[in-house]
Amino acid sequence: MKTAMSLLGSQGIFSVTEILIALAVFLLIFTVVRSFQQQIPHGLKRLPEPRGYPLIGNVLELGRNPHLSLTQMSQKYGDVMQIRIGTTPVLVLSGLNTIRQALVKQAEDFMGRPDLCSFRYIGDGQSLTFSSDSGEVWRARRKLAQNALKTFSVSPSPTASSTCLLEEHVFKEADYLITELLQQMKEKKSFDAYRYTVISVANVICGICFGRRYSHDDQELLSLVSLNNEFGDVAASGNPADFIPILQYFPSRPMKIFKDLNKRFSAFVHKIVKEHYTTFDKVNKYSEKKIVNLVNDLFGAGFDTVTTALSWSLVYLVTYPDIQKKIQNELDQTIGRERRPKLSDRLMLPYLEAFILETFRHSSFVPFTIPHCTTKDTSLNGYYIPKNLCVFINQWQVNHDETLWKEPSAFNPERFLNAEGTEINRMESDKVLLFGLGKRRCIGESIGKWEIFLFLATLLQQLEFSICDGQKVDTTPQYGLTMKHKKCDNVSLAEEASLLIAYSKNSQLA
């Protein structure tokens, strides 16, 4: 563009200064005209918004941690405010009551997805999660995906030690994970909390979707995990073309990488589905492509969130050893070492449940839901909201709202227990936002929570996690689609020798 402007100037048609002035005048007129064109219905108010800059809007104010910046802005402009990212207006919702009103009570008005450029390349534009479609076909596909997850997870297990397939898969992977961690302790005296957890979780979803598992050094599985990590990194960096539409017609290296990642992931799933398709029921009305898209959605629902939750859980356990000890005491008193934990034990392990809830709240590792979009002209809290407006839901703000939580920056599982400490206070647990709300709520929420519970209960029944002497854990979140903690490769296991004996006994439990 600079070269083109220089050429225009050298040819004597327009100078660079004249072009810049003309552009500025055009943008000013365009902004003024647009503001007057938006008629606010009688009795409603115009959305409050901070002043932005031409072309870039409020991008500079968002900085590296948009969840924190938007939380600060909401304190000034309120729970319903508008910002501009590039040239695109975005509604930002904060406050638990406001978000519940929008996503639950006015669900039909706020259930859309914006037609962002990036979303069109996820699952060939047919992703349940990212597609802008919200009609009857989408509803039918979502119901199919929910039924598939339920069938694959709660169907009876053929083994006597498990009551359902999910328990069977998690127990198997927990065994492999414990063996791998003990081996790492023997060889290196420490390990990376995320590195081995992610493989085990990937194997659970592979078992559910494909009926197979991979070894921890299998290159095919490692490539899948790598794709997921790369997707998160690229998504976190953002795509300017999503909010400055004209940029989609210009070359973009990040967008090229993003497209390539989605193609590679679809190819991976397609290859495995094709292997199974030879024995697939051809009477079924769903095509091979639809099956691939469905598996893509199931992977998205059951992989990254669970992996991130377990990784954060291990970090909190080594950071707060007294909390870890309370969980283990509860496990010893309720279950002992003679059998494995089961899903039916959840109500009898309130402190472990409280710990999981506090991990969700404190880390808030899903700071925003995937953007929503209004499906028609509507109103919220007395403000007029036009159709097709992109909507950000600030879950981090709710989970750290001082009007909802006492000392929100403190990690305190007891906040979710009743006075006697014997059960979860549902009034408190229902305030935690991680999986969204309403008609776009994550389809993998239930299976994700079950899987996290089973992994943690099984691991903490067998092992005690600690941090290497003299080392510290950095729990500062790194912003992204899901926020990870900084690399933590100095996690270790306490009392290794006795644990090896305990594990060799318990691994034989049926």
Annotated binding site for heme: 442
Alpha carbons 213 and 344: distance in angstroms, whole number: 25
Alpha carbons 458 and 499: distance in angstroms, whole number: 13
Strand 465-467 to 390-393 pairing: unpaired
Give the amino acid at 240.
P
- CB contact at 8 A, 67 and 73: no
Integer-rounded Cα radius of gyration of the chain? 25
Q: Is 69 exposed, middle or buried (0-12, 13-18, 19+ CB in 10 A)?
A: middle
Q: How far is CA 452 from CA 50, 192, 309, 327, in A?
A: 40, 18, 7, 14
The CB-side HSE value for 50 (13 A sphere, CA atoms) comes to 22
Question: What are the beta bridge partners of residue 112?
Answer: 373
Q: How far is CA 124 from CA 119, 310, 369, in A?
A: 9, 30, 21
Alpha carbons 84 and 50: distance in angstroms, whole number: 9
Alpha carbons 18 and 63: distance in angstroms, whole number: 32
Alpha carbons 314 and 329: distance in angstroms, whole number: 17
Element (H, E) at 491: strand 491-493
Alpha carbons 368 and 353: distance in angstroms, whole number: 23
Task: Give the DSSP per-residue string, 18-77.
Answer: HHHHHHHHHHHHHHHHHHHHSPPPTT-BPPP----BTTTBTHHHHTT-HHHHHHHHHHHH
